[in-house]
Amino acid sequence: MSFPSLTIGDLFLPVALVQGGMGVGISLSGLASAVAASGGLGVISAAGIGVKEPDFSSNYIEANNRTLAREIRAVRAKTAGALGVNIMVAMANFADLVKTALRENVDVIFSGAGLPLDLPSYLTEGSKTKLVPIISSARAAVILCKKWLSRFGRTPDAFVVEGPMAGGHLGFKAEQIDDPAFALEKLVTEVVAGLGPYTAPNGLPIPVIAAGGVYTGADIRRFITLGAAGVQMGTRFVATDECDADERFKQTYIAATEQDLVIIKSPVGMPGRAIRNGFLERVANGDKTPSSCPYHCIHSCEHGKAPYCITLALANAQRGRLTQGFAFAGQNAWRVDRIMPVAELFEELTAQYAQAEAAALLPQNQEVGEQDATQADIVRPLAASL
């Protein structure tokens, strides 16, 4: 079996691979266009996207909208491939960014960090943009289906179910992160089962996309066999030539050990997975960077009590200033050993998928071979006696 494709409504992806949206400035037009051109779904993260604009502090909403529109158009100028935008529900400018993405006719809007209960209300007549919530439980998926059906007469076009091995902010309590009851394999199975009574707007089963800890082609095949229609990967795409982060940011992945992947308490009130460095150690030791907050970017952030500004810390890291920030990363980041072009990563994953597919068929072939050998051992003596 060849590497699977993915269909979301009338959107067809030759490769069932979604690139995770990574803010602040990690997945912009450079990475998204390369993934889209390779047959996957490239995704721009809208989180803090306007941080390099000169009026980011004074004109926060407009700076972000302007930058998002520019990045979307940059992808469209490079490829006709599929493009999505990741917009966190928790962001104060969520509605403005959704409207901008819809005006620019993106193929998909991904939305997590909260339940996007009113996301369909922003759709304009004739819009073909697909709406894909990011959830961490079957319960959340069913709630959204019920709420959307009740209020808007439709269901989500697909779901991304993100497990606790993901990077960045996590939709789990700290004690759930290492609990086998919340392993991605279990979550995918539960979400697929929970969505059984529901169909997508096109009348077909709602596609489920597995995310969080997916690293190899064999991983991809495992989740496909569990009922996922595709996978989302973030960490693997950081270590690519086209990733929009500074080279020093990428090198933190290559230098990281398994012990360097740590769970932190983010200023926004959620646990997150990051690569341990001097900045995080200073924070853990009680250092605080006092500052006023001109952004108010996340509803749940108590900036007056926060030891640092999450937006500035991530922006510094994206620019390679790791003494003034840190890198979010998935649990498998320590396995990264080199930086490669996006096209090469697709080739590697495709080859690994094929190898896993062949290996899965091997025991059956061996069993058949043993049966054939046994039958031959019986037939040969009988033939000789005739």
Mean pLDDT within 107-124: 95
267 and 243, same structural domain? Answer: no
Does 26 fall in a domain?
Answer: yes
247 and 280, same structural domain? Answer: no
Mean pLDDT within 187-210: 97
302 and 208, same structural domain? Answer: no
SS3 readout for 4-37: CCEEECCEEECCCEEECCCCCCCCCHHHHHHHHH
CA atoms within 13 A on the CB side of 7: 8
Does 267 fall in a domain?
Answer: yes
Q: Which has the closest alpha carbon to 319: 233, 259, 268, 245?
A: 245
Residue 82 φ/ψ, nearest 5 degrees? -75, 140
Distance CA 344, CA 354 (A): 15
Q: What CATH code is carried by the domain that includes residue 75?
A: 3.20.20.70
190 and 211, same structural domain? Answer: yes
144 and 127, same structural domain? Answer: yes
Q: How big is the chain, counted in residues?
A: 386
195 and 300, same structural domain? Answer: no
- Of the three residues 308, 326, 344, the one that is the final residue of a domain is 326
Does 386 fall in a domain?
Answer: no
pLDDT digits (tens, 9 = 90+) for 237-285: 999 999 999 999 999 999 999 999 999 988 877 899 999 999 999 998 8
Distance CA 102, CA 125 (A): 11
pLDDT digits (tens, 9 = 90+) for 78-94: 999 999 999 999 888 89
Does 367 fall in a domain?
Answer: no
244 and 126, same structural domain? Answer: yes
Query: Can you give the pLDDT at residue 368?
Result: 42
pLDDT digits (tens, 9 = 90+) for 252-264: 999 999 999 999 9
Express as a percent the part of the chain with pLDDT over 70.
Answer: 89
265 and 310, same structural domain? Answer: yes
State which H helix or E strand residue 159 sits in. Answer: strand 159-162
Residue type, 49: I
Check whether the bond before 238 is cis (ω within 30° of 0): no
Domain that holds residue 296: 255-326
262 and 128, same structural domain? Answer: no
Does 282 fall in a domain?
Answer: yes
pTM of the predicted model as reported, rounded to 2 decimal places: 0.90
Distance CA 77, CA 29 (A): 10
Does 305 fall in a domain?
Answer: yes
First to last CA, the chain: 45
Say if CB 313 and CB 325 are below 8 A apart. Answer: yes
Say if CB 277 and CB 324 are below 8 A apart. Answer: no
240 and 173, same structural domain? Answer: yes
Mean pLDDT within 204-222: 97
Does 344 fall in a domain?
Answer: yes
Q: Which residue has the higher pLDDT, 370 or 63?
A: 63
